[in-house]
Amino acid sequence: MSRTFVVDTTKSKHVRLHPVSISSVKLTEGDFWAGKVQLMEKVTLPLQYQIMEETGRMDNFRIAASKISGEFSGFFFNDTDIYKWIEAVSYLLAGNRNEKLERLVDEVIEEIKLAQDEDGYLDTYFTLSRKPDRWTNLKDMHELYCAGHLFQAAIAHHRATGKSSLLDVAIRFAEHIASVFGPRKRKGVPGHPEVEMALVELYRETGERKYLDLARFFVDERGKGLIGGNTYHIDHKPFRELDEIVGHAVRSLYLNCGATDIYMETGDESLWNVLERLWVNLVTKKMYVTGGVGARHEGEAFGDPYELPNEKAYAETCAAIANFMWNYRMFLVSGESKFVDLMELALYNGILPGISLDGKEYFYVNPLADRGGHRRQRWFACACCPPNVARTLTALPGYLYALSPEGIWVNLYASNVSEFEVAGSRVKIEEKTRYPWEGLVEFKVSGNLSCSLYLRKPEWCREFSVSVNGKGVEPVLENGYLKIERNWHDGDTVVLNLAMSPELLESHPWVKDNVGRVAIRRGPIVYCLEAEDNPGMDVWDLEVPKDVVLEEETRDILGGVVVIKGRGYVPDPDSWYGLYLPIEDAKQLRREVEFAAIPYYAWANRTPGPMEVWVKAR
């Protein structure tokens, strides 16, 4: 079994960091994320497969293979749900034996294989009757998007299991695509980016340079009007001229992933400059406090700067995932913690809300305020989000660490036991923490080697302490990482204590929808107020004093969470006569109440009722 990287930059030249294999990191029973990965294995992935069968997604392959008769059903991009599911299962198989799932994936791959055309083309919508329409509408028809997800699934499966069954299918299709598109062949641009990063990864997996070239070709051809020149498709101008993150959020961020991957392999600075510019634009003007992105329902798109409505937020789960994926790549290039800060933010608050606590229902849209009507669904006709969440969560062990010639980088904190090879030596790390509920993280190192341990100082953390073998040390802060350089010996311990206390956040003054409002954050977790924890009031009415004393309480609800409590005020809207009152009069019409906030990711898992992240401030 080969090493299962989510992104394999081990040979990439223009990167600071390399990933660790998913299989090298074992989450510890009881860990926050271990529970999520187990949920994927036990509940979500089996149930998703069942739904793929129920909804005809598997049958589309059987029909394309002429194994059964019938018509293609569902959206023309439904193949990708299967591919993402395979990818998710593969990441799981990298770290865990699960013969049942492994066999199931093998069976599914067999069906996919049979659906592939003789020339390598594979898209069940365009096989059989629609064959003449292949590649005739790149703008809308998602053929290259489907190819991209096939490649990612195939690579993940190959890396996890060593089997090349799906990789062979992917390569045949990639060869077909490379025979159709390219500088001296047909010009074209995928209407929905995705294949770019997949092609770079296929290049990394196979060493076949033309896949990298093709990825670059697809990025370079963009913005020349080949697919209509719309902002929605990020085709309104060439990639290198972009100065604002716009258009369909998932398209935009998948494109950035691909461009970052191309930069990693080529060192094309003209790409990096754009990527840095777009990142600053994203985080300073267009991102929700949850790491969610894409403010507008219309076009599932980025809005204007500071256009971040709460109740009408779109913040598609897939867009938060794309944000996570892009930031991972930016981090690998730069080694800067600010990108991992965003990964952590999006993971806990933008992606995790996308799935119910029981692993059976999903949010496509993630509003930051709701009256109780927005509930997770078992599935969607356009079901991009459910398997996307699954593949992100099963890959999680691979995101915890990164490696560089200088040492080991700890990015996301979770209890785990891991083994790496660093500077030619094996090292084992046992990490224990109650993260995200507590900021205390303990490491035990086994191995004898000289290297640095880089511990990420999260952006949310202002006070921290580090000790090595019980003695306080003051590590250098380098790119947001606390660097501990030493000769490590068996049994060395490192204790990192990140002060974690609840605090109020406020928005940039130009975010109109958050004027006069505050949000509660504790460590990496963004909180919300939900009706069930706040009886006798409408949480939309609550006013939280800016100098509120926030208290923590661990409660055995919602799978076990730290709840944040405080005292605020609820006005009595019925006692207002007229709409406007002198503020002193209005003050009399309020009563003091105790409120309790829960992690935003856990909302909408109980009785429906009003919810709000940005509560009114007093």
Q: Under the rule (CB under 8 A), what is the footprint of a second copy?
A: 283-285, 287, 289, 306, 308, 503-511, 515-519, 541, 543, 546, 571, 573, 576-584, 586, 616-617
Nearer to a second copy, 268 or 612 (CB): 612
Nearer to a second copy, 72 or 614 (CB): 614
Q: How far is the CB of 542 from a second copy (least distance, A)?
A: 10
CA atoms of 68 and 207, how far apart (whole Å): 37
Nearer to a second copy, 158 or 285 (CB): 285
Q: Which distant-in-sequence residues (6+ apart) come within 8 Å of 29 by Cβ? A: none
Nearer to a second copy, 231 or 501 (CB): 501
Identity of residue 114: L
Q: Which distant-in-sequence residues (6+ apart) come within 8 Å of 269 by Cβ? A: none
Q: Is 300 a catalytic residue?
A: yes
Nearer to a second copy, 81 or 541 (CB): 541
Q: How far is the CB of 565 from a second copy (least distance, A)?
A: 18
**Active-site residue identified among 146, 257, 318, 384:** 384
**Helix/strand/coil for 337:** helix
Q: Which of 172, 130, 111 is nearest to 147 (CA)?
A: 172
Contact 457, 477 (CB under 8 A): yes
Neighbouring C-beta atoms of residue 428, cutoff 10 Å: 14
Q: How far is the CB of 436 from a second copy (least distance, A)?
A: 18
Q: How far is the CB of 459 from a second copy (least distance, A)?
A: 8
Write the DSSP string, 280-302.
Answer: HHHHHHSB-TTS-B--BTGGGB-
Q: How far is the CB of 287 from a second copy (least distance, A)?
A: 6
- What do you get for the CA distance between the two ends of the chain, in Å? 58
Q: Is 146 a catalytic residue?
A: no
Contact 464, 457 (CB under 8 A): yes
**Helix/strand/coil for 231:** coil
Nearer to a second copy, 299 or 309 (CB): 309
Q: How far is the CB of 574 from a second copy (least distance, A)?
A: 10
**Active-site residue identified among 221, 265, 300, 532:** 300
Nearer to a second copy, 14 or 616 (CB): 616
Q: How far is the CB of 464 from a second copy (least distance, A)?
A: 16
- Cα R_g (the chain), whole angstroms: 25
Backbone phi and psi for residue 408, each to the nearest 5 degrees, phi listed first? -110, 130
**Cα separations in angstroms, 45 against 48, 51, 86, 315, 378:** 5, 10, 9, 24, 13
Write the DSSP string, 184-214.
Answer: TSB----SS--HHHHHHHHHHHH--HHHHHH
CA atoms of 546 and 517, how far apart (whole Å): 9
Nearer to a second copy, 405 or 516 (CB): 516
**β-bridge pairing 407-410 and 449-456:** parallel
- Could you tell me how many residues make up the chain? 618
Contact 94, 160 (CB under 8 A): yes
Q: How far is the CB of 293 from a second copy (least distance, A)?
A: 11
Q: Which distant-in-sequence residues (6+ apart) come within 8 Å of 611 by Cβ? A: 369, 370, 372, 528, 529, 530, 531, 539, 603, 604
Q: How far is the CB of 272 from a second copy (least distance, A)?
A: 20
Nearer to a second copy, 490 or 585 (CB): 585
**β-bridge pairing 525-530 and 492-498:** unpaired
Q: Which distant-in-sequence residues (6+ apart) come within 8 Å of 523 by Cβ? A: 435, 436, 437, 439, 458, 460, 461, 498, 500
CA atoms of 234 and 219, how far apart (whole Å): 11
CA atoms of 182 and 210, how far apart (whole Å): 9
Residues marked active site are found at 300, 384
